[in-house]
Amino acid sequence: MSEKFSVLIVDDNRTNLALMDMLIRKLPGCSTLLQTDTNALLAGIDRLDFDLAVLVCRMPQADGIEVARRLKAEPRLRNKPILLAADEPDATTWSRATEAGIAEVMGKPINPVDLRGRILNLVRQPATATVTPASPWDEPAAPPPEVTAREEEYLSALVRVAGCRDRETPLHNQRVARYCAILAHNLGLPEEFCRDIRHAAPLHDIGKAGLSDGVLRKTGLLTPEERREMEDHTRIGHELLQGARSRVFRMAAEIALTHHERWDGSGYPQRLRGEKIPLSGRIAAVADVFDALTSVRSYKTSWSLGNAFNYLHDNAGEQFDPACVAAFASGREEIDEVMRAMSDPEDDTADAA
């Protein structure tokens, strides 16, 4: 977003507070308000002004959930989203957070990329939006909160596995997830789908965990045999994830299998054509290629934002679903924000014009 916004951060540990401040202030247009004393914070509640609050759950004077409850009791602050950081969110924590009107709960230690991504999503919500405190994996007849929290841990662990085996930066997976969510939103898809694909998309290349080091780490051109092995990562990823009861894992399996299919039917592994390719796979195909183009690789420099969008446009109707390309292009400002907030350390010189 181009406008400025402020984040209130409350943590009684000054070291942790400084680290959180450093992470959050990297977001474009973001300023921070820091507080270690919850009593002083609540005593001056009538003077508080912020766009989003990040609260630590465990504090000696008043815990983060109680602070959130007090903030939400103020009519002027009622619609301000709140993110809670908890050591090990359990059923009781989820329940109390929901009752207090907290928008999201995330476990500690905090993942910097996840933290910044969640903040960006929350501050984009309209001020009058209803805060949704439930886990992003909640569905009708959802399992108890402790099950969804455990599922989140499993998902995070698999994303880390994918990042360790893949020669690309772990930030690639996170950026692809954000791009997928932006694209899905611009297609007008239900919020449930947008939320699910944001959490499923980081696993699009999980099948690379089953490839040999010789193929996975090779920097030069692959031989035909190596290319066939590389293409197997789609089937391997699907086999790893299929059969799950979780809606998010089912979508992740679908994306893993189909994100290299092409609109004209020349992709792999099934050579699906057009709308026979699942929508999640068509969305991920655009996001994955765009991030590969705009990132530094051992074999290439990063493309500018404009050149990458031109590539998508030129290949709409052949490689990509034209509707997905159009929806992605309409989110150009948000995409630029993600690129800047989640840039690779070695990619600082990339031209994002």
Alpha helices in the chain (DSSP H): 14-24, 38-43, 64-73, 91-100, 112-124, 145-165, 170-186, 191-200, 213-216, 224-231, 233-241, 247-258, 279-293, 305-314, 322-329, 332-341
Please state at what angle helix 279-293 crosses helix 170-186, rounded to 10 degrees: 130
User: 3-state DSSP call for residue 105?
Assistant: strand
Spell out the residues 6+ positions from residue 2 whose beta carbon is closer than 8 angstroms to its own.
Answer: 28, 29, 333
**What is the spatial distance between Cα 74 and Cα 53, in angstroms, rounded to a whole number?**
14
Q: Are 16 and 56 in contact (CB under 8 A)?
A: yes
208 has catalytic annotation: yes
Length of the chain: 353
Question: How is residue 343 annotated by DSSP?
Answer: -
CA torsion, ordered 341, 343, 348, 349, to nearest 10 deg: -100
Choose among 251, 269, 252: nearest CA to 260: 269
**What is the spatial distance between Cα 273 and Cα 321, in angstroms, rounded to a whole number?**
10
Active-site pick, 4, 26, 80, 208: 208
Choose among 345, 350, 259, 257: nearest CA to 308: 350
In the chain, the amino acid numbered 90 is D
Alpha-carbon separation of residue 153 from 136, 150, 156, 193, 208 (angstroms): 13, 5, 5, 20, 21
For the sheet with 82-86, list strands across it: 30-35, 5-10, 52-56, 82-86, 104-107
Catalytic residues: 208
